[in-house]
Structure 1
Amino acid sequence: MTRQSDVLSGADIDGGKRQRSRDSLVLTAQIRLDRETGLREVRVRNLSAGGLMVELDEDADVGTPVMIKLQGIGEVDGKIAWCTEGRMGIALDSLIDADKVPRPSGSG
């Protein structure tokens, strides 16, 4: 039997401490905020199984739904966890295998 405490979601936080490792990198992805019709390119600055940080020259409200398209993964839904000074953190709705995202040469 699976208990709720045994199930991880992309937004799990344990007292402010990260539960998953995070890779610092710079790569591009595409994002769609909320109900927008088009995709726009963003730079991904770090990536983990449960979330990522992107650079985007626009503010958005915490909790705003997003879709992010990552090379090697495809489309993943999430929500904005924080947004400040041209960067935003996105908590993914489901865990991904971050190792499937191709890294530029010299990063990782």
Structure 2
Amino acid sequence: MTGVETRSVSRDSLFLLANIRVEQGEETHRVRVRNLSDGGMMGEGNLRVKRGNRLQIELRNIGIVAGSVAWVQDNRFGIAFDDEIDSQSARAGNPEAHDDAAVVQRSWQHKAPNAPNPLQLRKV
């Protein structure tokens, strides 16, 4: 990993726990969430995953979110969610205390761009 910031979506550092299940597996693993954004998270724990593994993540006040492992380094890993979440909800201590009047503007900047049209590519 380099010191160059390549993210287009803001994220917040925090400390909370999540339950993760690797698809096709039955065991649930408890991991620490080190940072969380609407489009993904960084987790830390004794969970052996590889890039591309499909996961189901249970986050407080949000529920189960599907995603895939984007990177792995030692006991930390990045997860890209399939769909955006309201990451502020996970920070709320009590789900009933969540202010429904506060509307969260979601950013779709983390989505990958459409694949280029092969007919428009220039050969080098």
Task: Tell me the TM-score normalized by structure 1.
Answer: 0.76
The root-mean-square deviation of aligned C-alpha atoms, in Å, is: 1.5
Instruction: Report the AA paired with residue 93 of structure 1.
Output: D
| Cα distance in 1 for residues equivalent to 2:9 and 2:26 | 32
Give the 3-state SS of the residue equivalent to 2:91 in structure 1. Answer: coil
1:47-66 equivalences under 5 Å are 47-66=36-55
Q: Which runs of 5+ in 1 are unaligned?
A: 1-15
4+ runs deviating over 6 angstroms: none
Residue 97 (structure 1) aligned with residue 74 (structure 2): no
Q: 1:82 aligns with which of 59, 68, 71?
A: 71
2:71 maps to a residue whose letter is: W
User: Cα distance, 1:61 vs. partner?
Assistant: 1.5
1:67 equivalent in structure 2:
56
Does 50-59 or 84-93 show the bigger shift?
Answer: 50-59
Provide structure 2 residue ranges, at least 5 long, that are not aligned to the other structure.
Answer: 94-124
May I ask how many residue pairs the two structures share in their alignment? Answer: 89
Larger radius of gyration, structure 1 or 2?
2
Deviation at 1:58, TM superposition (A): 3.4
1:34-69 CA distances to partner (integer Å, 9 max, x unpaired)?
Answer: 211131211000000000000022332111000000
* Higher alpha-carbon deviation: 72-81 or 27-36: 27-36
Query: TM-score when scaled to structure 2?
Result: 0.67
User: Shift in Å at residue 103 of structure 1?
Assistant: 5.4
Larger relative contact order, structure 1 or 2 (CA cutoff 8 Å, min sep 6)? 1
Q: Whose strand fraction is larger, Structure 1's or Structure 2's?
A: 1
